[in-house]
């Protein structure tokens, strides 16, 4: 299979993904369709994970009823955001992700056993599930959606409400939609290269 050569994205794309993108606190009433949510997932799922383990599980909270189930488990400052946002994704991790490796990594029949050690399994699941949550943010931005990632919730409460009887554990939340300019804070400082990076 030939690999398509990659080229640098133009400044407009880099601005949209990184330089000008902001965390949204107030949302417009413009809707996000189910087709957009599916398009988002179909994009983020293509990004890499260890051994293609894909441990993240995404619950897209969209209906008023589902939002009302989520809101009691949020810090007070996040409740209005979630009720106003068109969609809020619960990014969870499947702690039993290795059970799916015969489907996801079929050319290595023994791959499931690579994660027999619970410590290795837990670390792999958390790392790669978090990566997939980050891919969700970048995929959403690339499709023209704004993002409002957040912690600030009762993980045990969310897990009991949405994932009871499963092997899923919530990681973080991310609201999705079309943001308002209201309550956009000045961008916080970032490190310069020499403060956080090195070339050896």
Q: Number of folded domains in the chain? A: 1
Look at residue 64 and tell me if it is in a domain.
yes
Domain with 93 in it: 31-178
pLDDT of residue 96: 97
User: Does 3 have pLDDT greater than 80?
Assistant: no
Q: CB–CB of 70/90 below 8 Å?
A: yes
Helix (H, G, I), strand (E, B) or coil at 87: strand
Give residue 2's pLDDT band: very low, low, confident or very high (50, 70, 90). confident
Mean pLDDT of 75-94: 97
- Please report whether residue 189 resides in a domain: no
The rounded Cα 106 to chain-centroid distance in angstroms is: 25
pLDDT in tens, 51-62: 999 999 999 999
- Give me the pLDDT at residue 174, please: 98
- Tokens standing for residue 66: 């589902």
CATH of the domain at 75: 3.40.109.10
pLDDT > 90 in the chain, percent:
94
Half-sphere exposure at residue 70, Cβ-oriented, CA atoms within 13 angstroms: 29
22 within domain boundaries: no
pLDDT (tens digit per residue) in 17-72? 999 999 999 999 999 999 999 999 999 999 999 999 999 999 999 999 999 999 99
Residue 17 lies in a domain: no
Residue 197 included in any domain: no
Q: Is residue 3 part of a domain?
A: no
- What gap in Å lies between CA 160 and CA 142, rounded to an integer? 33
Express each pLDDT in 86-124 by its tens digit: 999 999 999 999 999 999 999 999 999 999 999 999 999
* 11 in any annotated domain: no
Are residues 55 and 93 in contact, defined by beta-carbon separation less than 8 angstroms? Answer: yes
pLDDT at 158 over 90: yes
The rounded radius of gyration (Å) of the Cα atoms in the chain is: 18
Whole-angstrom Cα distance, residue 25 to residue 177? 11
Per the domain annotation, does 191 fall within a domain?
no
User: pTM score, two decimals?
Assistant: 0.95
């Amino acid at each position: 299979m030939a690999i398509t050569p990659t080229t640098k994205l133009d400044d407009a794309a880099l601005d949209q993904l990184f330089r000008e993108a902001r965390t949204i606190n107030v949302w417009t009433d413009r809707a996000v369709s189910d087709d957009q949510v599916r398009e988002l997932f179909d994009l983020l799922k293509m990004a890499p994970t260890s051994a293609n383990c894909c441990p993240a599980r995404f619950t897209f909270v969209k209906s008023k009823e589902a939002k009302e189930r989520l809101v009691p488990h949020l810090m007070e400052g996040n409740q209005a955001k979630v009720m106003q946002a068109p969609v809020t994704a619960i990014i969870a991790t499947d702690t039993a992700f290795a059970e799916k490796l015969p489907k996801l990594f079929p050319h290595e029949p023994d791959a499931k056993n690579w994660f027999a050690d619970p410590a290795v399994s837990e670390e792999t699941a958390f790392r790669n599930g978090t990566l997939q949550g980050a891919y969700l943010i970048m995929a959403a931005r690339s499709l023209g959606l704004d993002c409002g990632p957040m912690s600030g919730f009762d993980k045990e409460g969310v897990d009991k409400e949405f994932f009871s009887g499963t092997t899923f554990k919530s990681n973080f939340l991310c609201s999705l939609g079309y943001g308002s300019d209201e309550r956009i804070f000045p961008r916080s400082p970032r490190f310069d290269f020499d403060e956080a990076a090195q070339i050896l």
